[in-house]
Structure 1
Amino acid sequence: MKGTRWYVYGGVLLVAMALATVQLIGMLREAGEGAAVGAADTSGRIQLLWLHHFDEPGSQAWIDSGIRQFQEKHPNVTVTAMPLDGGDYMSLLRMRIASGEMPDLYMLDHLFGAQDIIEAGFAADLTGRASLKQVEPRYLKGGSSEDGRTWMLPIDANGLGVTYNKEVFAKAGIKRLPETWNEFLTLCQRLEQSGVTPIAAGYKDTWTLFWDLATDLVPSTLLNDPLLVEKLSDGTRTFEASADSLAQPLHRLAERFAYVNSHPFETSWDEARTMVAEGKAAMIVGGTWSVDGVRSVNPDVSLGLFPLPYSDDPADSLFPMKATGGIVVNPLSPHADLALELLDWFARPEMGDSLQRNKRSVSVLKGVEQGFDPAIAELNRGYIETNRTVDWSGVQTGFTNQQLARAFSVAVADYLIDPGRGVDALLRGLDEVVVQSGKREGDEGR
């Protein structure tokens, strides 16, 4: 059995959230931030706080390098970049709002699910700002609202697909990448027969399970219904009424679950990426950020990327790409002008180069060469430059109903562990959660 029952997993999830909250409060107390956010200490030094959710060493090296250079230009400024747990990032950010301790800068993955933060006045309007002219126009869409206003500085373009160890593929005699779902399953069987784990799954970190599913769900379903997740979150659409859209991606997730490592719900993201880095597993399903994650364990590992097939039509094998979020400035900070200057600092081509060298993802800034990593360079040649990509900038992926978001992770885990309960039961259970959260009454909206 690849995991434990859902209630154990759910308990672990709730405990992890509680620990993350306690950890955050402890960090704040230790740092003595509280009212010090955007303030000056007794020596006259200005302190800026920047919240993000990057845990990979390369991502943090990129942020640290920019901050170090900025502080050299501003000797009286101290910028603290604080990473929060990616799975609970938005909840923890909202905790800051509730406690009156919003940071001076913070990261958003997308505008969907953050409208309340923007409407509350915690995001500076960046429309027309000179630094945004450094961004390739096609990548501004994800950071702009329907009225054309821009709220964040995009930093990189991420894709959804499969990161694989080329040496493991070669040892298994695999010379051709799959372009259909049946070919992908055949690939997994061949890898398993060669004695290697086909897919590394680190579902102990719940965000990895979500993005494993989203790698299929986005191109197969959400591109045709970009606001489906929002409708499910606010109760205007039921899960049961969306069964035709959700069932097949969930079925395919269960099919490939047969090829993941043992005890995936007890395996962390760090352990999963180490498996691929050391050749114990062949693939990770998720975002292109996995390249940085795997290479941070083994810089010399030979990696490649391909889109996860979801149909039996090779023409559907396109790589979903978009600018996934960026840097937001809190205009209510007493030093918002300085925070905006720091944002501008990260829009320079030099920081685009640094991002690609350290974070190993595609910079969205103009004039930045993209041959920094063999896997990303191959992605650029094979998909981006040949128009074999699909833009998912308008797709909402995150549930704005936090109670539903937590229940969804637990329900999907339960389904994978015990697929006999069926997708229909999973969807009915999620509709009950929406009703319990007060977003819909009884059968209304069905």
Structure 2
Amino acid sequence: MRNPLLRPRALVAAGAAAALALSAAACGDSGESDADLTWWHIQNQDPLMSTWQEFADDFAAENDITIDVQAIENQAFKDRMGTASQSGDVPDIFHTWGGGVLAEQVEAGLVQDLTGKLDCIDQINPIALEPYTIDGKLYGMPFDAGVVGFWYNMDLFAEAGISQPPATWDEFLAAVQALKDAGIAPIALAGADRWPGHYYWTYLVMRTVGLDGLEAAAEAGDFSGEGFIQAGEMLADLAAMEPFQPGFESAVYGEADGQSAVMGEGLAAMELMGQWAPQAQRDNSGTDGPENLGFFPFPTVEGGAGTTTEWLGGGNGYAVAADAPDEALDFLCNFMEPENYSRAITEGNLTPVAADTASVAPELNEDTQKVVDALASATGTQLYLDQAYPPAIGGVINEATEGLILGQLTPEDFVAMVNEAWAAEA
């Protein structure tokens, strides 16, 4: 099986974006269930946690079945799905980001081929289906897509004398220093979760070698090129400036004192995060979030091959277990019924992957529109590396990024770890 989506272009001009990981503590272990359907998802905070539960309850009542719904925090979900996949016993419906992780699940025979089985598929923008399409067959149904960029507190930028978002890496470092000089934590980071940190290294690689260079290196399983070392050096230089909030090493993304809450409370000036960030800032801080929240692309690197119109990003969808009953497919289409999907968009600040956006979202909120505009101007996209690549590779990238940020690894160590992981996967 080919390694899919090393550089998926599914997000380009998709006109869709949304919220992927509202986080908090995970529910308990799943254990055995006598329910007709089991559903694992990551919308583990209200409003969407309650909305998802109502969708399940209504469908169960209408079809005289029971649905065991488990809302699980992002990282805990990944851990539990890894264990479930290894055991060969996955829930009937489960969250997926597509890419290499889904491909491994498909290769293991755990995921149902949905090609031609979903009556609602014509309601979805075909471009949004690409991250879930492997060897020409569909293995997941998306419900949103978006990009990662810097969300920033415009009031804190102004307080530090920064008049406009930085466009180059040198300008970014200067902004970080200006914020530090003003006594403001420049960046919120969930160091303990690892996956938020990997966005920095990935983007720096995208800016130094470009998407073509990243794709070629992944195809070869060799990240030894100069641009990859340079990206590590640049991230190490940033970390040496101590730009992150106090205690970032033990902070997770979604708890009351985590990355999103720090942003929501105005205790840091910016975070590099996906389209779900504004809602997560509000949810996890218990506030209305920054009054003036801006968004800008990851800066360019002088002499690098990448541009600010090339975005890191991805979407969210659901896959179905190979042995799931037909009701699982019916439930996915019920989820996409215009009345239900429109409600999800409104209550969760999602933006649609619908073929006819106006039919489900005639008006988008300001933050969502910023992401939609970014997608509309995108010339290329890269799926999060911890999802695009096989889990063994993505996990090492996350781990190595943490080591680089904490000063425990050199850029050369980083590359060596990733190359060894690729060699072991071959």
TM-score normalized by the length of structure 2: 0.79
Q: Helix, strand or coil: the match of 1:156?
A: strand
Residue 327 of structure 1: aligned partner? 318
In the alignment, is the contact (CA less than 8 A) between 2:351 and 2:364 conserved in 1?
A: no
Distance 2:386 2:303 in 1: 24
What displacement does 1:418 show? 2.2
Residues 322 and 391, structure 1, Cα contact 8 Å, conserved in 2:
no
RMSD: 3.2
Offset from partner CA, 1:402-439 (integer Å, 9 cap, x none): 555444433322222227x631233234445566xx44
**Corresponding residue for 1:5?**
none
* Preserved contact between residue 50 and residue 105 of structure 1 (Cα < 8 Å): yes
Matched, 1:93 2:81: yes
- Report if the CA contact (8 A) 2:93-2:320 is conserved: yes
What per-residue deviation string (whole Å, max 9, x for no partner) do you get for residues 8-41 of structure 1? Answer: xxxxxxxxxxxxxxx88x6234xx42xx3xxxxx
Cα distance change on mapping 1:96 and 1:263 into 2, 3 Å:
same
| CA deviation string 1:58-82 (max 9, x = no partner) | 44344234324323433x2232232
1:411 aligns with 2:400: yes
Which structure is larger by alpha-carbon Rg, 1 or 2?
1
State the partner residue of 2:278.
291
**Conserved 8 A contact 2:275-2:371:** no
* Percent identity for Structure 1 against Structure 2: 20
Q: Distance in 2 between matches of 1:89 and 1:274?
A: 20
| 1:203 partnered with 2:191 | yes
TM-score, with structure 1 as normaliser = 0.76
Aligned partners of 1:202 and 1:208 also within 8 Å: yes
The higher relative CO (CA closer than 8 Å, separation ≥ 6) is in 2
Listed as ranges, the gaps of 5+ residues in structure 1 are 1-22, 37-45, 441-446
Matches within 5 A, 1:213-292: 213-218=201-206, 221=209, 223-225=211-213, 227=215, 231=219, 237-239=221-223, 242-257=224-239, 258=241, 259-269=243-253, 270=255, 271-292=258-279
Q: Does 1:51 align with 2:40?
A: yes
Matches within 5 A, 1:116-131: 116-128=104-116, 129-131=118-120
Aligned position for 2:131: 142
Distance 1:286 1:328, change over 3 A: same
Quick check: 1:198–1:283 contact (8 Å CA) kept in 2? yes
Gaps of at least 5 residues in structure 2 are: 1-25
User: Quick one: which of 361, 364, 380 aligns to 1:369?
Assistant: 361
CA deviation after TM superposition for structure 1 residue 99, in Å: 3.5
Once the two structures are superposed, what CA deviation does each residue of 1:206-239 show, in whole Å capped at 9, x if it has no partner?
A: 22222343344456546214646755xxxx5234
TM-aligned CA deviation for residue 327 of structure 1: 1.0
- Write the distance in 2 (CA, Å) between the matches of 1:204 and 1:390: 32
Task: Provide the residue aligned with 1:183 in structure 2.
Answer: 171
Q: Secondary structure at the match of 1:326?
A: strand
Residue 261 of structure 1 aligns with an amino acid whose one-letter code is Q
Answering whether residue 297 of structure 2 is matched by residue 307 of structure 1, we say yes
Change (3 A) 1:185 1:400: closer
Amino acid at match of 1:170: A
Alpha-carbon distance in structure 2 between the residues aligned to 1:370 and 1:361:
13
Give the secondary-structure state (helix, strand or coil) at the position aligned to 1:183. Answer: helix
What SS does the aligned partner of 1:324 have?
strand
